[in-house]
Structure 1
Amino acid sequence: MYQYDHYDQTLVDQRVAQFRGQVRRYLAGELSDDEFRPLRLMNGLYLQTHAYMLRIAVPYGVLASRQLRMLAHIARTYDRGYGHFTTRQNIQFNWPELERVPDILADLASVQMHAIQTSGNCIRNVTSDPLAGVADDELEDPRPWCEIIRQWSTLHPEFSFLPRKFKIAVSASKQDRAAVQVHDIGLYLVRGADGEVGFRVLVGGGLGRTPMIGQTIREFLPKQHLLSYLEAILRVYNQEGRRDNLYKSRIKILVKALGAAEFGRRVEVEWAQIRDSALQLEPAEIERIRAFFAAPAYAADAAADASFDAHLAADAAFATWVRRNVAGHRVAGYRNVFVSLKPFGRPPGDISAGQMEALADLADRYAGGKVHSTFTQNLLLTDVRQADVYPLWQALAALDLATPTIGTLADIIACPGLDYCSLANAESISVAKSLHARFDELDYLYDLGDLRLNISGCMNSCAHQHVGAIGILGVDKSGEQWYQITLGGSSGNVASLGDVIGPSVRHEDVADTIARVLEVYLEQREPDEPFLDTYRRIGMAPFKARVYGVPAKGRAGKEAAAHV
């Protein structure tokens, strides 16, 4: 992973000192609330319902074990003993005291971390495939390109005050695991007609109040022109994006207003002026960054291990966990292990200080000292020798980090909702708990297969409910919490936005509503057909009829659920 040089460290240290002075002045009454607000947002500090919330950047989701230990220290010393991983691959702390935030930032800086550009109208944390560098379907490692973008965009003087926040995602795999098409800019590494690798460029994706799927404006961009082309896109947006209406300020609104073709034309005009400027990436610089992501020295005899298969045959619980939580690796004899942050009845994405410290130790022992965060609010250990998967599973199980439900209905993505967020209309965590309580039979979950369920407490869509196969959105009705249900969303290769099934339902009726939806799926699916494919084949009508017209049957309790 990338290591700071003298300039990086100086920049981050100076930002800590600067913010320390700003906090001191605010607490002394020398800065008003309005003056302090943009200063704290530049450092990732939000004022939530009950306390401040600090969002810490995890560039493209990669953490060193020493950084994870520092996050554990922060959770224990400055917060309430836990942190919350988000769909931006970042981590949030929900209870820091304002006067101690500069100390948190100083501790972060000591391990090459910060909270810069995790909020505000700027270019946010660049995200990528959590399996970047180790995926068996990958064209090349996208992380060097994420790092190049990160360095270019950090404190970029022209793009520090954009019309609205701005998000970029990069993927290089056949399967999109980075939700590229719902970002302001999406980049796919592709092979061109001449065999060279470059980028397919999408713009105008995003969720929130006006969800949209990104549109391609360039089928192939040579690598050396990446930064100049991104700069051209940002310039067009910065100049022409709306600043008069908060809800119409994202680049997706501008792309829709102009049309993708016209927006692309304007980008090309802007790009022609800077294409051959100093922004052009030299091969030596690309290789310098790429060297930070060099693969480890894999053991030549790793594939010869027979213990992994023996444990699969002898231990049914281990075999079950492997089927859901272990992914293939590009090198024979190695595996990638997903660490579940979704134990039944617990807030999705939360992890305690003790779990973080223990996981850092496991990363050092089994995964080259690295931990990856995912946009599905889980963690990942890569480069695990297959001989080590069994003892790693035992250790994770002892830490309550091995719930075997990755990719299932129980692997819920949820924002903090009304429990913490001042923007929320409704609770998210309690809905997730009610669904966990209703659908906790593993055999039933496995029979449902891959099924993404996302819950957001407001229209800001931090949990990406628009692209969940089942999406749940909290809405306020005269002070009461109601929930709108959508079906058919996906952030995968064939991205789609969910369709609203009908009128919203009460908090206490959400689990029953989902049960009725699943009844229809189980009745209508073809052999081995995933939920999303069934929905796309049969449409909304059967689901709507069951939810609003016919009482649920056979699924009154968990016992019945296992037999449907």
Structure 2
Amino acid sequence: MYRYDEFDHALVQDRVKQFSGQVQRRLAGEITEDEFKPLRLMNGVYLQLHAYMLRVAVPYGTLSSRQMRMLAHIARKYDKGYGHFTTRQNIQYNWPALKDIPAILEDLASVEMHALQTSGNCIRNVTSDQYAGVAANEVEDPRIWSEIIRQWSTLHPEFSFLPRKFKFAVTGAPEDRAAIRVHDIGIELVKGKDGRTAFDIYVGGGQGRTPMIGKLIGKAISQENLLTYLEAIMRVYNMHGRRDHLFKSRIKILVHTIGEEEMRRQVEEEFAAMQKDGPVELPKAEIERIQAYFAPPAYETLENDPAELNEAFEKTPAFARWVKQNVAAHKVPGYAIANISLKPVGGVAGDASSEQMEKVAELADAYSFSEIRVTHEQNLVLADVPQKDLFALWQELDANGLGTPNLGLITDQIVCPGLDYCNLANARSIPIGQAIAKKFEDLDRQNDIGELKIKISGCINACGHHHVGHIGILGVDKKGTEFYQVSLGGSADEKTSLGDITGPAFTEDKIVGAVENIVETYLSERQDGERFLDTYRRIGMKPFKEKLYAAH
């Protein structure tokens, strides 16, 4: 994984010192909260309903065990003993005292971490595929290019005053696990005509108040031209993006307003203008320097399906169930990708205690080259586990509340913090997710239902990604009462779709029953083992709507 160079170290240390002084001035009353707000946002500090919140960057979702131990230390010393992993592959602390935040940033800097550009109108944390580098069919490890984009975009003067926040996602495999088409810029690694890695670039995706799917603006852009092409997109956005209207400020609105073809024309025009004085290319030596940081680890020569693994299957059905649901194929024989669910029934999606974080760090050291991945669906991954060690790994996970075998099932939900924490929310999200999980906690029933992704947001900002949930749930406020609007058929994968709203919203006491009606309708209509999404796309909304509102 990437290690800081001297520029990174100097940048982060200087920012910590600078922000420490700003915090002292705020605590002394020398600056007001309004004056402090833009300063704290530049350092990942939000003011939520009950306390400040600190959001820490985890670039492309990759952590070392050393870094995970520091996150656990911060949770224990400065928060309430836990952290919350988010859909940008970051971690949030919901209860730090403002006076302690400079010390937290010092601790983070000691393990090459920071909170820069995790808030404000800037390029946010670059996200990627949690299986990067280990998926058998990827073109190339997308973290290489995510790191190049991170370095290029950090404190870039061209992007210091964007119309609105800006999000990149990068994937290297045909299966899109990074949701690139619902990002401001989504990048897919492809093979160019010369056989080298190139980039298809999608622009104008996003969720929130006006959900849209990104358009393919740049096709097979070369490695040397990648950053120039991205800068051309950013320049067009910077010139024409709305700064006079908060709800019309994202690049998706610009693409929608001027159209896909005009956006492409303006980007190509800007791209050509930038090269008039000679090629502006990403140097080959710099590409190779970053690639070296992501060289494969020292894999052993191992056999697939070792005898001890099959013996464990026969003796321990719970282990076999976990492997079937939470373990994915690895490109190297004898290895596996182990997904760690942070969605136990009754828990809060994405939360991990300091003890659990330390345990994951310990297991990463023992079984996965000391590396951990954070997924945009609020889970963790050990990407390089020998198959012969899976049983020992599972025993440790299960003993520490981390062995829930529900990846991709109805209880593996994305849930935003909602009205329990967020001052933008209209309704609670966490209790709704917990109630739905409780209703479907039986693992046999979950497996019978199969893949079904529920995503829950507490407001229109869509931090819970409800627009792309197979079942999406949006909390709304109606005259002081919380209601929940339901949508069906969304997806964030390579066949991205936005969910269709079923009709009138449901009250808090009816929403769990509504979800059960949807599931029962699916089970009665599915054919030949179809997934929920396949059935919905085949039969459409009508049968679901009839069942929902007949019982409403």
The two structures share one fold, judged by TM-score above 0.5: yes
Question: After superposition, where does 1:377-456 map in structure 2 within 5 Å?
Answer: 377-456=378-457
* Cα distance in structure 1, aligned partners of 2:161 and 2:101: 23
* Alpha-carbon distance between aligned partners in 2 of 1:254 and 1:402, rounded to the nearest angstrom: 44
Q: Distance in 2 between matches of 1:193 and 1:67?
A: 40
Residues 1:208 and 2:212 are matched in the alignment: no
* Cα distance in 2 between the residues matched to 1:307 and 1:332: 16
CA distance in 1, matches of 2:61, 2:196: 27
Is 1:491 the counterpart of 2:478 in the alignment?
A: no
> Within 2, Cα distance between the matches of 1:82 and 1:277?
52
**TM-score of the aligned structures, taking structure 2 as reference length:** 0.99
Equivalent residue for 1:47? 47
In structure 2, the residue matched to 1:555 is none
Give the distance between the partners of 2:4 and 2:194, measured in 1 at CA.
Answer: 36
Q: Could you say which residue in structure 2 is the equivalent of 1:2? A: 2
Preserved contact between residue 75 and residue 81 of structure 1 (Cα < 8 Å)? yes
Report which stretch shifted further, 298-307 or 419-428.
Answer: 298-307
Which residue number in structure 2 is paired with residue 11 of structure 1? Answer: 11
**Contact 2:415/2:455, CA 8 A, preserved across alignment:** yes
Q: Shift of residue 273 of structure 1? A: 2.1
Q: Which residue of 2 aligns with 1:118?
A: 118
Other structure's SS at 2:486 match: strand
Amino acid paired to 2:539:
I
Taking the TM superposition and a 5 Å limit, the aligned residue runs for 1:311-326 are 311-326=312-327
Structure 2: distance between partners of 1:420 and 1:277: 51
Write the distance in 1 (CA, Å) between the matches of 2:89 and 2:99: 26
- How far residue 139 of structure 1 moved from its aligned partner, in angstroms, is 1.3
Indicate if the aligned counterparts of 2:302 and 2:333 stay in contact, CA closer than 8 A.
no
User: Would the aligned equivalents of 1:49 and 1:421 in 2 still touch at CA under 8 Å?
Assistant: yes
Which residue of the partner structure matches residue 159 of structure 2? 159
**Counterpart position of 2:369:** 368
Quote the RMSD (CA, aligned, Å): 1.1
SS in 2 for 1:174: coil
Query: How far apart are residue 195 of structure 1 and its match?
Result: 2.3
| Structure 1: unaligned runs, 5 residues or longer | 552-564
CA contact (8 A) 2:340 2:380 kept: yes
Distance (Å, rounded) in 2 between the aligned partners of 1:86 and 1:292: 25
Q: 2:84 corresponds to which residue?
A: 84
Alignment correspondent of 2:353: 352
Conserved in 1, the CA contact under 8 Å of 2:305 and 2:387?
A: no
Distance (whole Å) between structure 2 residues aligned to residue 368 and residue 515 of structure 1: 42
Instruction: State the partner residue of 2:548.
Output: 547
Q: Cα offset for 1:302?
A: 4.3
Task: Identify the residue that residue 526 of structure 1 maps to in structure 2.
Answer: 527
The whole-number CA distance in structure 2 between the counterparts of 1:192 and 1:283 is: 17
Per the alignment, in what secondary structure is the counterpart of residue 223 of structure 1?
coil
SS at 1:158's partner residue? helix
How far apart in 1 are the matches of 2:359 and 2:62?
A: 17
Aligned length: 551
User: Which position in structure 2 is the counterpart of 1:30?
Assistant: 30
Aligned equivalents of 1:533, 1:302: Cα separation in 2: 36
The DSSP-based 3-state class of the residue aligned with 1:124 is coil
The 3-state SS of whatever aligns with 2:377 is coil
Q: Distance in 2 between matches of 1:278 and 1:36?
A: 42
For residues 49-94 of structure 1, the C-alpha deviation after alignment (integer angstroms, 9 at most, x for no partner) is: 0000000000000000000000001000000000000000000000
In structure 1, the residue matched to 2:516 is: 515
Cα shift at 1:214: 0.2
SS in structure 2 opposite 1:12?
Answer: helix
1:467 touches 1:490 (CA, 8 Å); kept in 2?
yes
For 2:467, the equivalent position in structure 1 comes to 466
Name the structure 1 match of 2:220: 220
- Taking the aligned partners of 1:109 and 1:345, their CA distance within structure 2 comes to 34
1:136-169 per-residue CA deviation (whole Å, 9 max, x = no partner) reads: 2211101010000000000111102100000000
| Residue pair 2:52, 2:95 contacting (<8 A) in 1 also | yes
1:280: how far off? 1.2
> What is aligned with 2:183?
183
CA distance in 1, matches of 2:369, 2:194: 36
Partner of 2:273: 273
In the TM superposition, residue 5 of structure 1 has moved relative to its aligned partner by 1.3
**Aligned 8 A contact 2:429 2:457 in 1:** yes
Distance 1:518-1:110 versus aligned 2 partners, 3 A rule: same
- Structure 1 residue 297: Cα displacement: 1.2
Structure 1 position 301, deviation (Å): 3.0
Unpaired segments of 5 or more residues in structure 2?
none
Q: How does 1:69-108 map to 2 (within 5 A)?
A: 69-108=69-108
In structure 1, C-alpha distance between the alignment counterparts of 2:195 and 2:173, rounded to whole Å: 16
Percent identity over the alignment is: 58
Query: 2-side partners of 1:13 and 1:302: how far apart?
Result: 46
**Cα distance, 1:314 vs. partner?**
2.4
Residue 343 of structure 2: aligned partner: 342
Structure 1 segment 251-270 matched on structure 2, within 5 A: 251-270=251-270
Structure 2 CA distance for aligned equivalents of residues 138 and 277 of structure 1: 33
Task: Give the Å deviation of 1:388.
Answer: 0.6
Q: Is the Cα–Cα contact under 8 Å of residues 336 and 380 in structure 1 kept in the other structure?
A: yes
Q: What is the SS of the residue equivalent to 2:463?
A: coil
Shift of 1:232: 0.5
TM-score, normalised to structure 1, is 0.96
Corresponding letter in the other structure for 2:444:
D
Moved >4 Å (runs of 4+) = 276-279
Deviation at 1:550, TM superposition (A): 4.3
Which residue of structure 2 aligns with residue 241 of structure 1? 241
2:168 alignment partner in structure 1: 168
Which residue of 2 is the match for residue 560 of structure 1? none
CA 1:31–1:277 in structure 2 vs 1: closer, same or farther (change >3 Å)?
farther
1:302/1:385 contact within 8 Å kept: no
